[in-house]
């Protein structure tokens, strides 16, 4: 019960995070968003690591594991988040979310290749549903409500080419970095809440260092980041706290409940994103029947991809022949 509640809290904060990002990039830039949301995570994760006794566990990580955590952090939190923010700024969280959900397909494909995981009929159905959801999105005319200021366009017109390019790039990055993280834990033979938070701390420190180096060689970008307006700054600060909270809730859920229960529930974040977006970002998003249908279908696909076959078969009563089919796996 507790694990399910924590997983749903992770989903809710992930969904709220996407909504907050959308508001932040309306008046702020992507660079300004990164300058706030990446470094702000270090003190939050540091407090969590100290509280869970994970600080001493960093010494248990191998050099190879620390390198993998560092690479994943720099790539995921800098490049992946940059692509996410660019895509969201271009065409809104509602259109971006289902595309980024395709990162699960990439993760599973890489896990099969590098981690010897298996493909199952349920995962094939999940892949099919995600692709179907993305094709459904393409049917949307892509126009939403009013703009945010008098000097801006009165209608939100998604920049689809830019949005799709950066959404796909984000999906590739978000789909690849979990493999590096998993390889890091396997190499050090450490798992659990404490090591997980410690690995996250290393990743965020690495991302912040690389971001700082970039600003050091690009002082004009740093000057631009310091000129952020208060409205965007508030939303980006909220985003920084929300994304940290969502990771914390997910780690805690995994510490008390099976992955087969936690992962599918976390994938329902799209529901929270859509509902909260309707109340907060209605004028800055696309809410037509094609988009809503695409979101719903991709959520079903994401749940199917992360749902374990054993849990699925325990929830539904199927004929023996169909049950045996779902128990197949390859290679």
pLDDT for the residue numbered 148: 38
Task: Give the pLDDT confidence of 285-330 residue by residue, as tens digits.
Answer: 888 899 999 999 999 999 999 988 998 999 999 999 999 999 999 8
> What distance in Å separates the CA atoms of residue 120 and residue 9, rounded to the nearest whole number?
28
Task: Give the pLDDT confidence of 180-203 residue by residue, as tens digits.
Answer: 998 998 888 877 778 888 999 999
| Residue reference for tokens 């279908």 | 297
Task: Give the pLDDT confidence of 85-95 residue by residue, as tens digits.
Answer: 999 999 999 99
For residue 216, give every residue at least 6 positions away whose Cβ sits within 8 Å of its Cβ, in sequence order, or none: 222
pLDDT for the residue numbered 193: 78
pLDDT for the residue numbered 146: 38
> What distance in Å separates the CA atoms of residue 277 and residue 287, rounded to the nearest whole number?
9
Q: Give the mean pLDDT of 77-99.
A: 95
- The Cα-based distances of 102 to 31, 79, 164, 169, 235 in angstroms read 25, 17, 12, 11, 26
194 vs 273, residue with greater confidence: 273
Q: Which of 1-5, 150-154, 235-239 has the lowest mean pLDDT?
A: 150-154
pLDDT for the residue numbered 155: 56
Q: Is it the case that residue 143 has pLDDT exceeding 60?
A: no
Alpha carbons within 13 A on the beta-carbon side of 84: 29
């Amino acid at each position: 019960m507790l694990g399910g509640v924590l997983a749903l809290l992770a989903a809710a904060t992930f969904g709220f995070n996407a909504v907050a990002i959308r508001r932040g990039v309306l008046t702020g830039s992507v660079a300004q968003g990164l300058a706030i949301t990446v470094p702000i995570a270090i003190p939050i994760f540091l407090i969590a690591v100290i509280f869970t006794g994970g600080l001493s566990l960093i010494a248990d990580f191998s050099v190879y594991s620390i390198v993998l955590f560092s690479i994943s952090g720099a790539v995921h939190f800098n490049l992946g988040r940059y692509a996410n923010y660019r895509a969201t700024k271009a065409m809104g969280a509602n259109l971006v979310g289902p595309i980024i959900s395709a990162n699960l397909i990439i993760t599973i494909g890489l896990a099969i290749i590098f981690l010897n995981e298996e493909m199952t009929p349920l995962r094939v159905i999940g892949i099919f549903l995600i692709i179907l959801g993305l094709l459904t999105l393409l049917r949307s005319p892509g126009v939403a409500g009013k703009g945010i200021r008098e000097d801006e366009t009165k209608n939100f017109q998604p920049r689809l080419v830019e949005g799709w390019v950066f959404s796909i790039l984000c999906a590739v990055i978000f789909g690849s970095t979990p493999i590096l993280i998993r390889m890091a834990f396997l190499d050090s033979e450490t798992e659990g809440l404490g090591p997980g938070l410690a690995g996250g701390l290393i990743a965020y420190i690495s991302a912040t260092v690389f971001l700082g180096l970039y600003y050091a060689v690009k002082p004009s970008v740093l000057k631009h980041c310091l000129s952020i307006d208060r409205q965007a700054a508030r939303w980006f600060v909220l985003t920084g706290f929300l994304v940290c909270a969502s990771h914390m809730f997910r780690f805690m859920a995994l510490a008390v409940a099976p992955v087969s229960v936690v992962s599918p529930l976390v994938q329902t974040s799209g529901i929270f994103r859509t509902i909260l977006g309707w109340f907060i970002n209605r004028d800055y998003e696309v809410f037509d029947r094609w988009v809503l249908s695409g979101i719903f279908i991709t959520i079903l696909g994401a749940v199917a991809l992360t749902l374990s076959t054993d849990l699925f078969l325990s929830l539904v009563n199927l004929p023996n022949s169909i049950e045996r089919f779902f128990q197949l796996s390859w290679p």
